[in-house]
């Protein structure tokens, strides 16, 4: 059941538009700006003259929509789309969204960003009542609930169903008559609404997608909200009052694009501030600061600015994505890292380096980058991480569900430093992280979900409770061994 992950992975991005000709092509542009949220599959469903038509496949958006012909059957003025990150065991084409359903009395398409935490329970209940699932995805559950609801209108059936699913979700639903979006009661995942100059409404996981298609930002969806868009405009309701803001802090730290704003805070700015705070919390005597490209360039420059140490481009990322399959011998395997990232010898040689990165998951990558810098002649490598140690699994849509994949779960900071071979290692504090992002919601951590660092899960864990407790036991054993 446990698969090894090498980096943190977001689970999906969604985009929808209502009210503009060629809606599917516009969605392609919007989804392209969300590609960083999922690279394993993509799809678009368009609504035209009362019928839904879709195209989806495995791969990058540009692989799925290889040429213009794919849009020939995707006409119409409304569309929703999805980019997907595959979690373990879910890599079949039947899991690529948006899902499409054609009943004798209605049609609908559904896209989902997030992760349900009572999916196993719901699925078993539904199967026991005769339901047949065709994907491994928890996304499908919502449709079964909607179809089994006995309320009168679709919107009422959706609202009833939303109260049964638990966890993190930003849903997009398209029917020939309307586009519906809904956010979970904690607002774990971002979802914004915007408007095009022609009046069309756009929904997207990140505001960068609004910018790309030229839509003006209206507002973010709030926890427990459902929005209905149709030819009469949009209308926002609450489907539950039992809400508490807990937006995923990893969106700011790692996932989201720097040009996106989340809950009113620009992501690049948040990262730069985290870098500045880190410089205050962990000053270092060094010659240059280097941010690990691409996600830590903002934090790196913040650190440099605050510390007064010059910021240098000491690491270069190859812009061409390398396959790692060609690695038959150990010798060639070592080359894999260098294919992706190179140290600039002319910059690094003879220097004491502060290497700023946004997080450490398993430690493997950090270890390799430290070595890369040493090979290029760095005399000292001081690693500064612009977030706290990752110590607890995520159940809300980040692909870490086993805490023993997290090096900081089972090791002290000093142990981690030794493993990665750094001269020193400091993580940003929890308070420093929260303050740097600077949300002001009336909720713990100002409205951030910090569970990966603190274990403070903002919801019950439902299906994951047992697994989680079991993993803790093992931790205790490990810690006892350390103490003795």
Taking CB under 8 A as the criterion, which residues in 78-137 touch a second copy? Answer: 93-94, 101-105, 123-124, 127, 129-134
Rounded to a whole number of angstroms, the minimum distance from the CB of residue 479 to a second copy is: 36
Contact 24, 42 (CB under 8 A): no
Report the distance separating Cα 196 and Cα 20, nearest Å.
9
282 Cα distance to chain centroid: 28
Nearer to a second copy, 144 or 411 (CB): 144
Nearer to a second copy, 240 or 371 (CB): 371
Contact 61, 26 (CB under 8 A): no
Structure tokens at 66: 């290889």
Alpha helices in 172-310 (DSSP H): 207-213, 249-250, 267-281, 297-307
Is position 357 annotated in a ligand binding site? Answer: yes
Is position 295 annotated in a ligand binding site? Answer: yes
Structure tokens at 399: 């692909």
Nearer to a second copy, 206 or 399 (CB): 206
Name residue, tokens 């005769």: 130
Note if 208 is an active site residue. Answer: no
Q: Which of 36, 238, 352, 404 binds a second copy (CB under 8 A)?
A: 36
Span of 229-237, 282-290, 298-306, 384-392 interacting with a second copy by CB under 8 A: 298-306
Span of 156-164, 248-256, 308-316, 407-415 interacting with a second copy by CB under 8 A: 308-316
Q: Is 330 in the site for a second copy (CB under 8 A)?
A: no
Burial class (CB in 10 A: 0-12, 13-18, 19+), 472: middle
Question: Within 13 Å of residue 385, how many CA atoms lie on the same side as its CB?
Answer: 22
Q: Which of 310, 431, 479, 482 binds a second copy (CB under 8 A)?
A: 310
Question: Within 13 Å of residue 216, how many CA atoms lie on the same side as its CB?
Answer: 6
Q: Is 29 in the site for a second copy (CB under 8 A)?
A: yes
**Window 139-168: contact mask with a second copy (x via CB under 8 A):** -x--xx--xx--------------------
Q: Which of 153, 319, 330, 484 binds a second copy (CB under 8 A)?
A: 319
Contact 327, 334 (CB under 8 A): no
Rounded to a whole number of angstroms, the minimum distance from the CB of residue 257 to a second copy is: 6
Structure tokens at 212: 């790309």
Span of 9-17, 29-37, 233-241, 396-404 interacting with a second copy by CB under 8 A: 29-37
Contact 191, 30 (CB under 8 A): no
Is position 423 annotated in a ligand binding site? Answer: no
Residues with a catalytic annotation lie at 12
């Amino acid at each position: 059941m446990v698969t090894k992950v090498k980096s943190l992975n977001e689970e999906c991005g969604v985009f929808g538009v209502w009210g503009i000709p060629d809606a599917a092509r516009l969605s392609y542009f919007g989804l392209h700006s969300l590609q960083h949220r999922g690279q394993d599959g993509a799809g678009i469903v368009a609504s035209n003259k009362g019928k839904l038509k879709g195209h989806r496949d495995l791969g990058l958006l540009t692989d799925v929509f290889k040429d213009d012909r794919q849009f020939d059957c995707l006409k119409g003025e409304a569309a929703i789309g999805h980019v997907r990150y595959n979690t373990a065991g879910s890599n079949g084409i039947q899991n690529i969204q948006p899902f499409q359903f054609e009943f004798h009395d209605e049609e609908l398409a559904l896209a989902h960003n997030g992760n349900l935490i009572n999916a196993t329970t719901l699925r078993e209940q539904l199967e026991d009542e005769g339901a047949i699932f065709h994907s491994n995805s928890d996304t499908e559950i919502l449709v079964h609930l909607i179809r089994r609801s006995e309320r009168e209108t679709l919107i009422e059936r959706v609202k009833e169903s939303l109260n049964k699913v638990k966890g993190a979700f930003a849903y997009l639903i398209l029917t020939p008559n309307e586009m519906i979006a809904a956010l979970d009661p904690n607002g774990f995942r971002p979802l914004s609404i915007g408007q095009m100059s022609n009046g069309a409404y756009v929904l997207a996981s990140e505001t960068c997608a609004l910018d790309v298609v030229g839509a003006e930002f209206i507002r973010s969806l709030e926890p427990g909200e459902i929005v209905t868009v149709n030819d009469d405009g949009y209308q926002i309701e609450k489907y539950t009052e039992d809400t508490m803001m807990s937006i995923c802090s990893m969106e700011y730290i790692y996932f989201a694009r720097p040009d996106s704003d989340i809950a009113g805070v620009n992501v690049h700015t948040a990262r730069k501030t985290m870098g500045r705070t880190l410089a205050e919390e962990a000053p270092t005597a060094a010659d240059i600061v280097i941010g690990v490209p691409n996600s830590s360039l903002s934090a790196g420059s913040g650190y440099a600015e605050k510390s007064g140490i010059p910021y240098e481009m000491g690491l270069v990322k190859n812009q061409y994505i390398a396959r790692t399959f060609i690695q038959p011998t150990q010798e060639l395997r070592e080359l894999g890292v260098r294919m992706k990232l190179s140290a600039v010898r002319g910059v690094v040689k003879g220097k004491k380096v502060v290497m700023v990165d946004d997080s450490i998951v398993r430690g493997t990558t950090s270890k390799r980058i430290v070595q890369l810098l040493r090979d290029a002649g760095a005399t000292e490598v001081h690693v500064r991480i612009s977030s706290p140690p990752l110590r607890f699994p995520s159940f809300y849509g980040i692909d870490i569900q086993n805490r023993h994949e997290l090096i900081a779960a089972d090791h002290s900071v000093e142990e981690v430093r030794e493993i990665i071979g750094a001269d020193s290692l400091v993580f940003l504090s929890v308070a420093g992280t929260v303050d740097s992002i600077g949300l002001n919601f009336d909720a713990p951590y100002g409205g951030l979900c910090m569970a990966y660092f603190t274990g403070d899960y903002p919801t019950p864990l439902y299906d994951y409770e047992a697994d989680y407790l079991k993993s803790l036991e093992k931790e205790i054993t490990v810690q006892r061994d350390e103490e003795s």
